[in-house]
Protein backbone atom coordinates (compact mmCIF):
# COMPACT_ATOMS: atom_id res chain seq x y z
CA UNK A 1 0.00 0.00 0.00
CA UNK A 2 1.02 3.53 -0.67
CA UNK A 3 0.96 6.23 1.91
CA UNK A 4 -1.31 9.23 1.40
CA UNK A 5 0.24 12.65 1.08
CA UNK A 6 -0.35 14.92 4.09
CA UNK A 7 0.42 18.08 2.14
CA UNK A 8 -2.52 20.34 1.18
CA UNK A 9 -3.17 20.90 -2.51
CA UNK A 10 -1.31 23.98 -3.73
CA UNK A 11 -3.41 27.17 -4.11
CA UNK A 12 -6.53 25.63 -2.65
CA UNK A 13 -6.44 26.92 0.93
CA UNK A 14 -5.34 30.35 2.16
CA UNK A 15 -3.70 33.18 0.31
CA UNK A 16 -0.37 33.08 -1.37
CA UNK A 17 2.21 35.82 -0.91
CA UNK A 18 1.51 37.06 -4.47
CA UNK A 19 -2.13 37.71 -3.61
CA UNK A 20 -1.11 39.70 -0.52
CA UNK A 21 1.27 41.82 -2.63
CA UNK A 22 -1.48 42.42 -5.22
CA UNK A 23 -3.82 43.62 -2.46
CA UNK A 24 -1.18 46.04 -1.13
CA UNK A 25 -0.63 47.43 -4.64
CA UNK A 26 -4.39 47.87 -5.09
CA UNK A 27 -4.67 49.78 -1.80
CA UNK A 28 -1.68 51.98 -2.70
CA UNK A 29 -3.21 52.74 -6.11
CA UNK A 30 -6.53 53.72 -4.49
CA UNK A 31 -4.78 56.03 -2.01
CA UNK A 32 -2.74 57.71 -4.77
CA UNK A 33 -5.85 58.02 -6.98
CA UNK A 34 -7.79 59.67 -4.15
CA UNK A 35 -4.90 62.09 -3.55
CA UNK A 36 -4.83 62.98 -7.25
CA UNK A 37 -8.59 63.63 -7.31
CA UNK A 38 -8.24 65.84 -4.20
CA UNK A 39 -5.39 67.79 -5.83
CA UNK A 40 -7.38 68.37 -9.02
CA UNK A 41 -10.36 69.50 -6.94
CA UNK A 42 -8.19 71.96 -5.01
CA UNK A 43 -6.78 73.51 -8.17
CA UNK A 44 -10.25 73.72 -9.76
CA UNK A 45 -11.62 75.48 -6.66
CA UNK A 46 -8.66 77.84 -6.54
CA UNK A 47 -9.07 78.77 -10.22
CA UNK A 48 -12.84 79.26 -10.08
CA UNK A 49 -12.86 80.83 -6.63
CA UNK A 50 -10.23 83.43 -7.47
CA UNK A 51 -11.93 84.69 -10.64
CA UNK A 52 -13.92 87.57 -9.18
CA UNK A 53 -14.51 89.47 -12.42
CA UNK A 54 -16.24 88.25 -15.56
CA UNK A 55 -17.40 90.23 -18.57
CA UNK A 56 -18.75 89.96 -22.06
CA UNK A 57 -18.82 92.14 -25.15
CA UNK A 58 -22.43 93.14 -25.83
CA UNK A 59 -21.76 95.02 -29.06
CA UNK A 60 -19.08 97.06 -30.79
CA UNK A 61 -18.86 99.74 -33.45
CA UNK A 62 -15.74 100.55 -35.43
CA UNK A 63 -14.52 103.72 -37.10
CA UNK A 64 -11.26 104.47 -38.88
CA UNK A 65 -8.99 104.61 -35.79
CA UNK A 66 -11.22 103.54 -32.89
CA UNK A 67 -13.48 100.73 -31.80
CA UNK A 68 -16.30 101.49 -29.35
CA UNK A 69 -16.91 98.41 -27.19
CA UNK A 70 -19.97 97.94 -24.96
CA UNK A 71 -18.80 95.79 -22.02
CA UNK A 72 -21.00 94.21 -19.37
CA UNK A 73 -18.91 93.41 -16.30
CA UNK A 74 -19.98 91.25 -13.35
CA UNK A 75 -17.83 91.35 -10.22
CA UNK A 76 -17.95 91.01 -6.47
CA UNK A 77 -18.75 94.18 -4.50
CA UNK A 78 -15.66 96.17 -3.62
CA UNK A 79 -13.38 94.24 -5.97
CA UNK A 80 -11.29 96.16 -8.46
CA UNK A 81 -9.74 94.80 -11.61
CA UNK A 82 -9.33 95.15 -15.32
CA UNK A 83 -10.47 93.60 -18.58
CA UNK A 84 -8.28 93.31 -21.67
CA UNK A 85 -9.88 94.02 -25.06
CA UNK A 86 -8.28 93.75 -28.47
CA UNK A 87 -9.25 94.51 -32.05
CA UNK A 88 -8.08 92.93 -35.28
CA UNK A 89 -8.04 94.14 -38.85
CA UNK A 90 -9.77 92.28 -41.65
CA UNK A 91 -6.55 90.36 -42.44
CA UNK A 92 -6.28 89.12 -38.81
CA UNK A 93 -3.50 91.46 -37.67
CA UNK A 94 -3.93 92.97 -34.23
CA UNK A 95 -4.50 96.72 -34.54
CA UNK A 96 -5.31 97.61 -30.93
CA UNK A 97 -5.20 96.26 -27.38
CA UNK A 98 -6.01 97.96 -24.08
CA UNK A 99 -6.83 97.27 -20.44
CA UNK A 100 -9.92 98.89 -18.95
CA UNK A 101 -10.05 99.22 -15.15
CA UNK A 102 -13.16 98.74 -13.02
CA UNK A 103 -13.65 99.28 -9.31
CA UNK A 104 -16.29 100.34 -6.80
CA UNK A 105 -19.13 98.63 -4.98
CA UNK A 106 -21.35 97.93 -7.98
CA UNK A 107 -21.63 94.24 -8.90
CA UNK A 108 -22.76 94.88 -12.49
CA UNK A 109 -21.24 97.54 -14.71
CA UNK A 110 -22.40 98.46 -18.23
CA UNK A 111 -19.80 100.65 -19.88
CA UNK A 112 -18.89 101.71 -23.39
CA UNK A 113 -15.11 101.98 -23.72
CA UNK A 114 -13.08 103.31 -26.63
CA UNK A 115 -10.19 101.28 -27.99
CA UNK A 116 -7.74 103.22 -30.17
CA UNK A 117 -6.44 101.32 -33.18
CA UNK A 118 -3.54 101.77 -35.58
CA UNK A 119 -5.82 101.10 -38.57
CA UNK A 120 -9.45 100.17 -39.02
CA UNK A 121 -10.39 97.34 -36.69
CA UNK A 122 -13.18 94.96 -37.66
CA UNK A 123 -13.49 93.00 -34.40
CA UNK A 124 -13.67 93.57 -30.67
CA UNK A 125 -12.54 90.60 -28.61
CA UNK A 126 -12.49 90.28 -24.83
CA UNK A 127 -9.27 88.48 -23.90
CA UNK A 128 -10.02 88.17 -20.19
CA UNK A 129 -10.60 89.88 -16.87
CA UNK A 130 -8.47 89.81 -13.72
CA UNK A 131 -8.85 91.17 -10.23
CA UNK A 132 -6.23 93.54 -8.76
19-28, 46-55, 114-123: range with highest mean pLDDT: 114-123
| pLDDT tens per residue, range 72-109 | 999 888 888 899 999 999 999 999 999 999 888 888 99
| pLDDT tens per residue, range 119-130 | 999 999 999 988
Phi, psi at residue 106, to the nearest 5°?
-65, 140
CA distances from 131 to 46, 52, 90, 93, 99 (A): 14, 6, 31, 28, 12
Amino acid sequence: MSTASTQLPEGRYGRSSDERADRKLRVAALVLGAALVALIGYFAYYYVGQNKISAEVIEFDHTKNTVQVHLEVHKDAGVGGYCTVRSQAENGAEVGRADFHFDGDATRIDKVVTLRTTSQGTTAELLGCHSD
